[in-house]
Amino acid sequence: MTAIDAPALAIDAPALAIDARGIVKSFPGVLANDHVDFDLRRGEVHALLGENGAGKSTLMNILAGLYRPDEGEIRIDGEPVTFGSPRDAIAAGLGMVHQHFTLVPSQTVTENILLGLDRPRFLLHERRSEAEVAALAERFGMRVDPRARIWQLSVGEQQRVEILKMLYRGARILIMDEPTAVLAPQEADELFETLRSMTREGRSVVFISHKLGEVLAIADRVTVMRRGVVTAAGLPTAGATRADLARLMVGRSVLETIDRVPVTPGSIVLAVEGVSARNDRGLPALRDVSLDVRAGEIVGIAAVAGNGQSELAEVITGLRPCTGAIRIAGEEVANESAGTVIARGVAHIPEDRSTVGSAPNLSLTDNLIMKRYREAPVARGWLMDEATARTIAGTLKESYAIAAPSVDTQARLLSGGNLQRLILAREIETKPGLLIAVQPTRGLDVGAIESVHRLLLSLREHGTAILLISEELDEILALSDRIDVVYEGRVVGTFPSAEADVGRIGLLMTGGDEEAAS
Amino acid sequence: MTIRLEPRIAAPRWLSAAATIGAVVVALVISGAIIGFVGGDPIRSYLHILNASFGSIGVLSDTLVKATPLILTGLACALAFRMRLWNIGAEGQFLLGAWGATAVVLSGVLPKGTPAVVVLPLMMAAGMLAGAIWGLIPGVLRARLGVNEIITTLMLNYVALFWIQFWVFGPWSESGFQQTKTFPPEAWLPRLSDFATTVPAFGGLTVHLGLIFGLVAAGIVWLILERSRWGYEIRLIGDCPRAARYAGIDIARNLIVVFAVSGALAGLAGMSEVAGSVHRLQDRISPGYGFTAIIIAYLAKFHPGRVVVASILFGALILAGREIQPSGVPAMIQGIILFALIVSDTLVRYRVRIERTPPPAPATAEPAVPG
């Protein structure tokens, strides 16, 4: 794989709105930006493409004044700048619209836009401000009622208010962090129109996304990031293909070699048929999903974050209502309680370790018996056998090498890796018939990742059916017998792992196949 | 120089107990200073309070009588608070319990001369049932509709108050006074003084069977919270509802049951008060037991055994309040104790760090858990 270099800049290239050179930013244990260069021309839409954790948001937060870079230089319109706060960035004409809006629900659109401004100093000239806001919205083709209260607005309208807020403050550069993640398709089209009308006036837009289709539709150029480094800088979208972008974005590191013993899959343990569900915001998250997992088989779900895979795990484990059929070992469990699903021998490694997978202020013992306190030997009638619980906890702590002073230590004091070992110990020790593993190795170091992988494979040999949901494509490829690719809540492709083609999977994960299909 | 609060990695166990006792001591010192400031003699005042509540068998018995409703309402709060269920309605549940027990006596459902062994258990059952229903209303509203229980329980206290007033001013009024007639003897809980004929030393001691109810209830609540499967669920929900849901626990059902049991405990307190101490229902049957119970539950860190100790301390303060009423000193001490407790809680969870600028390079960090 060769990185695609940016075309050499011509002498008469348009002046740069942003010119960032050699940006380095590290967080404890992570190098989020490793000598990143990024430039934005005046009047262009420049897409920043990358998987979750690639370092896109870090870079943009640095540009918007939220973080200070460890190294590197930033020029805005040719002037070197150092921002101490977002206020400084806005003063320099650079505004960012975050994924999570910062609006006051009970106030009107105009009031939200004026909030925090130095002028008007004391009295609000409401009528005049409303007219100004209306004119600004009109100019960029945004339908918004300046007098509406925020809570009355749809998510798309709220996003327009955020954009107006920045424009009202005179932003010439707008950074949009995954703006379409919350939008319906026609709202996204309207947003694109607005962005185009802004660039026609000479304003510039940075568009953060991990959806290939959108990037090609709206952006003039694209910069691709992976694991903190730029893999393609300022590539013109005109000449780029989806396959190129997918490969640049997903990449492929050297796979660790794990011996996967051939296991003949047994009977179907998990059967999901035509399941649909909504996410926490009430939007469709799963659309007519069907898949199955057999005993002794690992089925990997390859998807970019936010495409419904978290909801899929919750639906199967009884934590989220759905429509459709879910059968575990032949028994219908759709919309049954989480307790019923646990009783059917389903283990679950949840995405959120610290507030779902464990209770932070309870002891190691209490956390380790979470799934078995109802049964003997921990339960004795309506009472619990403290001594037995502590013995079990002690044994698990030993055999899974959970580093903690004692079994009475509170779970919140464990490091991320040890907390994950605690959850694995609890979920795997019962030799479950079905394991739903969501991001089982997120945040672990290389050695720990390998031991988790070995545990999963030994469970597979033992005959457990495993549904592996991970954003690490390498992990999915290394462990799975079959791979289902999920995009926007749909299964868009199924591959036996022997025939898996990374390029094709990457394309499907990012919606790259949508146009080809239609 | 700056003063900062830093979260403690792990608070040692003794620190929590020491902080609670320390808070009470500090509160007594502050109160003493205030008594001294207004020209009183703090030492003499405290000795007087001590003498008035623990000075003799007689006053000790009176202290325990005051502590009895506090133990039961304190347990009601501690149980709910363990699940982070803010039942501020022990007062109302207490009143309904008192009303339910009274209804058994005054409604005439029992023929005249029914023996105490029938009347008293029925009064207990009615009192606990009425309290439980009063707890169920906010419980169901919270579980099914997500209504904030602090508001509903608080407001239901007033409803309960007016409910009692309606009955004692109206149907059950004793010739126009705002109280019912005195209960017949078979509706009185046995008192120590009842046995004065056999044990002369018990003469005049008003401590009644309700204290045993309180102690037994404390034992049962301890068993539930610390040793039972249900207690594990309550602790898990209290600490982390999402983890509890993930572990397959029915949170809505637990909410309703905990509220009902909490209400029943407070209702039993009301029954014990009318049957053991007052022997009639009257307006102002409670001087705010259900509210003091909130402070007691906090003082006890929601631990049933410590609820008993804290209740006796507050029982003493209430009794002493009658002794030196004009100065309002015991009420002040109660308030300052609560204030000191809240401060001590912060000191247990955070350490105070005083820094001289500039801060030294990586200070010797608290030994964290390795790994």
Rounded to two decimals, the pTM is 0.75
Angstrom distances, CA of residue B205 to CA of A148, A328, B56, B317: 70, 66, 11, 19
Query: A422 to chain B nearest CA, in Å?
Result: 12
Residue that wins the pLDDT comparison between A155 and A173 = A173
Candidates B9, B227, B243; nearest CB to A413 = B9
Which pair of structure tokens corresponds to residue B46? 């405290």
**Helix or strand or coil: residue A174?**
strand
Domains of chain A, start order: 16-249 (3.40.50.300), 258-345+431-518 (3.40.50.300), 358-429 (no CATH)
Chain A positions touching B239 (Cβ under 8 A) are: 359-362
Which pair of structure tokens corresponds to residue B14? 């003794």
Supply angle C-alpha B366, B370, B371, rounded to 5: 140
Lowest pLDDT segment from A201-205, A444-448, B58-62, B309-313 = A444-448
On whether the CB atoms of residues A46 and A233 are closer than 8 A, the answer is no
CA–CA distance, A135 with A125 (Å, rounded to integer): 16
Lowest pLDDT segment from A46-55, A332-341, B143-152, B275-284 = A46-55
Confidence of residue B366 (pLDDT cuts 50, 70, 90): very low
Phi, psi of B238 (to 5 degrees): -60, -40
Confidence of residue A390 (pLDDT cuts 50, 70, 90): very high
pLDDT for the residue A481: 92
Helix (H) or strand (E) holding B6: strand B2-7
Which pair of structure tokens corresponds to residue A299? 């089925």
Chain A positions touching B362 (Cβ under 8 A) are: none
The fraction of chain B above a pLDDT of 90, given in percent, is 56
pLDDT for the residue B371: 37
For residues B137-159, give the mean pLDDT.
Answer: 95
CA–CA distance, B20 with B17 (Å, rounded to integer): 5
pLDDT at A497 over 50: yes
Query: A292 to chain B nearest CA, in Å?
Result: 23
Tell me which residue of A220, A221, A198, A212 sits closest to A242, measured CA to CA. A212
Please, which residues bridge with residue A41 across strands?
A16
pLDDT for the residue A312: 95
Buried b (16+ CB within 10 A) or exposed e, B142-152: bbeeeeebeeb
For residues B227-238, give the mean pLDDT.
Answer: 94
For residues B176-196, give the mean pLDDT.
Answer: 89
pLDDT at B9 over 70: no
pLDDT for the residue B34: 87
CA–CA distance, A409 with B110 (Å, rounded to integer): 56
Q: Which residues touch B115 (CB under 8 Å, ≥6 apart)?
A: B186
Kindly determine whether residue B235 and residue A374, on different chains, have CB atoms separated by under 8 Å.
no
Tell me what percent of chain B is helix, strand and coil, each rounded to the nearest 5.
70, 5, 25
Amino acid at the residue B5: L
**Residue given tokens 């409303």 in the structure block:** A130
For residues A281-307, give the mean pLDDT.
Answer: 90
Query: B248 to chain A nearest CA, in Å?
Result: 4
On whether the CB atoms of residues B130 and B97 are closer than 8 A, the answer is yes
Kindly determine whether residue A359 and residue B239, on different chains, have CB atoms separated by under 8 Å.
yes
Nearest CA in chain A to B230: A382
pLDDT for the residue A126: 81
Residue that wins the pLDDT comparison between B186 and B322 = B186
Query: A142 to chain B nearest CA, in Å?
Result: 37
Mean pLDDT of chain B: 87
Amino acid at the residue B69: P
Chain A positions touching B302 (Cβ under 8 A) are: none
CA–CA distance, A342 with A429 (Å, rounded to integer): 14
A321 touches chain B (CB under 8 A): no
pLDDT at B11 over 70: no
For residues B124-144, give the mean pLDDT.
Answer: 96
On whether the CB atoms of residues A438 and A471 are closer than 8 A, the answer is no
Candidates A352, A410, A414; nearest CB to B371 = A414
CA–CA distance, A346 with A327 (Å, rounded to integer): 12
On whether the CB atoms of residues B164 and B178 are closer than 8 A, the answer is no
On whether the CB atoms of residues A364 and A356 are closer than 8 A, the answer is no
Q: How many domains does chain B have?
A: 1
Query: B25 to chain A nearest CA, in Å?
Result: 29
A406 touches chain B (CB under 8 A): no
Query: B60 to chain A nearest CA, in Å?
Result: 36
pLDDT for the residue A258: 67
Q: Choose from A412, A421, A445 for mutation: most chain B CBs within 10 A.
A: A412
Helix (H) or strand (E) holding A505: helix A502-509
Supply angle C-alpha A482, A483, A484, rounded to 5: 125
A356 touches chain B (CB under 8 A): yes
pLDDT for the residue A320: 93
For residues A484-505, give the mean pLDDT.
Answer: 87
| CA dihedral (B150, B151, B156, B159) positive or negative | positive
User: What secondary structure letter does DSSP report for B208?
Assistant: B
Nearest CA in chain B to A406: B369
Kindly determine whether residue B235 and residue A362, on different chains, have CB atoms separated by under 8 Å.
yes
On whether the CB atoms of residues A89 and A95 are closer than 8 A, the answer is yes
pLDDT at A34 over 80: yes
On whether the CB atoms of residues A290 and A273 are closer than 8 A, the answer is yes
Confidence of residue B235 (pLDDT cuts 50, 70, 90): very high
pLDDT for the residue A252: 54
| Sequence-separated contacts (24+) of B106-111 with Cβ below 8 Å | B106/B172, B106/B180, B106/B181, B106/B281
Cα-based torsion angle of the residue sequence B168, B173, B174, B180 in order, rounded to the nearest 10 degrees: -40
CA–CA distance, A24 with A40 (Å, rounded to integer): 18
Confidence of residue B356 (pLDDT cuts 50, 70, 90): low
Amino acid at the residue B182: T
Confidence of residue A1 (pLDDT cuts 50, 70, 90): very low
Q: Report the 10 Å Cβ neighbour count for B34.
A: 15
Amino acid at the residue A375: E
User: Which domain covers residue B323, as residue numbers?
Assistant: 17-353
**Residue given tokens 């025939």 in the structure block:** A499
Mean pLDDT of chain A: 86
For residues A475-496, give the mean pLDDT.
Answer: 91
DSSP secondary structure letters along B249-274 = --HHHHHHHHHHHHHHHHHHHHHHHI
Q: Which residues touch A62 (CB under 8 Å, ≥6 apart)?
A: A20, A23, A25, A33, A68, A69, A74
Q: Report the 10 Å Cβ neighbour count for B56.
A: 11
Helix axes B116-145, B251-273, angle to 10 degrees: 150
Helix (H) or strand (E) holding B294: helix B289-299
CA–CA distance, A352 with A355 (Å, rounded to integer): 6
Chain B positions touching A358 (Cβ under 8 A) are: 240, 243
Chain A positions touching B242 (Cβ under 8 A) are: 352, 355-356
| SS3 annotation, A257-280 | CCCCCCCCCCCEEEEEEEEEEECC
pLDDT for the residue A9: 41
Kindly determine whether residue B239 and residue A339, on different chains, have CB atoms separated by under 8 Å.
no
Confidence of residue B224 (pLDDT cuts 50, 70, 90): very high
**Helix or strand or coil: residue B247?**
coil
Q: Does residue B5 fall inside a structural domain? A: no
pLDDT at A336 over 70: yes
pLDDT at A13 over 70: no
Q: Does residue B221 fall inside a structural domain? A: yes
pLDDT for the residue B10: 61
Q: Which residues touch B287 (CB under 8 Å, ≥6 apart)?
A: B318
Please, which residues bridge with residue B351 across strands?
B6
The fraction of chain A above a pLDDT of 70, given in percent, is 91
Confidence of residue A395 (pLDDT cuts 50, 70, 90): very high
CA–CA distance, B174 with B72 (Å, rounded to integer): 29
A371 touches chain B (CB under 8 A): yes
Kindly determine whether residue A359 and residue B240, on different chains, have CB atoms separated by under 8 Å.
yes
**Residue given tokens 């999963």 in the structure block:** A456
Confidence of residue A4 (pLDDT cuts 50, 70, 90): very low
CA–CA distance, A309 with A350 (Å, rounded to integer): 12
A&B contacts, CB < 8 Å: 92
The fraction of chain B above a pLDDT of 70, given in percent, is 90
pLDDT at B278 over 80: yes
pLDDT at B357 over 70: no
A318 touches chain B (CB under 8 A): yes
pLDDT at B360 over 50: no
**Helix or strand or coil: residue A338?**
helix
pLDDT at B15 over 90: no
* Cα A505 versus chain centre, distance: 18
Interface of A with B in 407-466 (CB under 8 A): 409-410, 413-415, 417-418
Span A180-228, pLDDT tens digits: 877 766 788 889 999 999 999 899 999 998 778 888 889 999 999 888 8
Q: What is the predicted ipTM?
A: 0.81
For residues A485-496, give the mean pLDDT.
Answer: 91
Strand order from edge to edge, sheet including A482-487: A346-349, A434-438, A465-470, A298-302, A482-487, A490-496
CATH of residue B246's domain is 1.10.3470
Span A342-365, pLDDT tens digits: 999 999 999 888 889 999 999 999
Kindly determine whether residue B369 and residue A355, on different chains, have CB atoms separated by under 8 Å.
no
Cα-based torsion angle of the residue sequence B49, B54, B57, B63 in order, rounded to the nearest 10 degrees: 80
pLDDT for the residue A381: 86
Nearest CA in chain A to B368: A413
Residue that wins the pLDDT comparison between A432 and A243 = A432
pLDDT for the residue B201: 84
For residues A98-109, give the mean pLDDT.
Answer: 87
Chain B positions touching A369 (Cβ under 8 A) are: 232
pLDDT for the residue A366: 94
pLDDT for the residue A251: 66
Span A228-271, pLDDT tens digits: 889 888 889 888 887 788 778 776 544 455 677 888 888 999 99
pLDDT for the residue A162: 92
Q: Does residue B278 fall inside a structural domain? A: yes
Chain A positions touching B7 (Cβ under 8 A) are: none
Q: Which residues touch B334 (CB under 8 Å, ≥6 apart)?
A: B292, B295, B314, B317
Candidates A319, A348, A383; nearest CB to B227 = A383
**Residue given tokens 């749809």 in the structure block:** A154
A403 touches chain B (CB under 8 A): yes
Amino acid at the residue A106: S
Tell me which residue of B228, B231, B233 sits closest to A382, measured CA to CA. B228
User: What secondary structure letter does DSSP report for B5?
Assistant: E
Residue that wins the pLDDT comparison between A367 and B39 = A367
Buried b (16+ CB within 10 A) or exposed e, B256-276: bbbbbbbbbbbbbbbbbbbbb
pLDDT at B207 over 60: yes
Residues on chain B bordering chain A, Cβ-to-Cβ distance under 8 angstroms: 9-10, 223, 227-232, 235-236, 239-240, 242-250, 368-371
